[in-house]
Structure 1
Amino acid sequence: MKTLDEYLAWIENPSHRERMEEIFNWIRDKYPNLQPTIKWNQPMFTDHGTFIIGFSISKKHAAVAPEQEAIAHAKGDIEKAGYDCTENIIRLPWDRPVPYALLEKLIDFNLRDKADCTTFWRK
C-alpha cells in the first residue's frame, strides 16, 4: 500500500472503511499542511517529515497512535471520555462517535511539541 485510498480499499468492513475515510477527510480538511503517508502498512500523517499521528484497525476498534508523549499529555481527557489506551495507542470502538476534540488536542500537541523535530520519531 502506498496511499490512503489503497489503505481504505483494503478495509473489508464497509462501515469501518467509511469511519476511517471520515477521520482522514477531517484531518485533511482541518490540517491541510499534514502529509498523508503509509509506512509499515499503516496510515500516518506527518509534518516537515516528522510523525504526527497514525492509525490502525482491528475487528473491535480503530487505534490512534500519536506517540507516548501525546497520550501522556491528553491522558486525563482520554480517561474522562471513557476511552481505553496504552502507552502507545488509544482504542476508538467502532460503535462510539469519533472524538474529534480529542484528536485535535493530540494533533495540536504534536505539532507544537515537534515543531523543531528533525527526525521521524521523537528522540
Structure 2
Amino acid sequence: MAYDENNIFAKILRDEIPCKKVYEDDFALAFHDINPQAPVHVLVIPKGPYVSMADFTAHAPDDLVAGFMRAVGKTAEELGLAEDGYRTLANAGENAHQEVPHLHIHIFGGKPLGPMLVGHALGGEGPGGY
C-alpha cells in the first residue's frame, strides 16, 4: 500500500478536514473516531507520511518514533483510561483491513472489552483455539 497524500488523515493534518481533537503535539495528533467501536475510540496519527508501523519504524527519525509512542500513552492518560485499562490496535495492510494508508493507532476503552481475538475468528475451536 503506497502513501496517498490525499488520504483523509493527511487532509486532517493539513486542517482541510475538521476533527474532534483529543491531543496534539509536534509528533502526533489524536482525535475521536467518526465510527466508534467502544465508548472511547480515539485514533492517534503521526505527523508524517507513513503508511504502516513497518514503514514508520524503518523511515521516521528516532525523535518522531519516540514522540509518537509517547503521544499514544499521553492520549490514553488524557482520556482517563490508564487506570482501568484500554486496548491499542494498528492495522497494517490489506489482510488486516487497513482502510486509510496512513499509520494510525486505535485506542479503545471505557468498558470491559473482552478477549482480543476469539478462536472462531482464526478458524479455531473457540476462545484460545488457535
Say which structure, 1 or 2, has more relative contact order (CA 8 Å, 6+ apart).
2
- TM-score (normalizing by structure 1): 0.27
More helix by share: 1
Q: Give the TM-score taking structure 2 as reference length.
A: 0.26
- Name the larger-Rg structure: 2
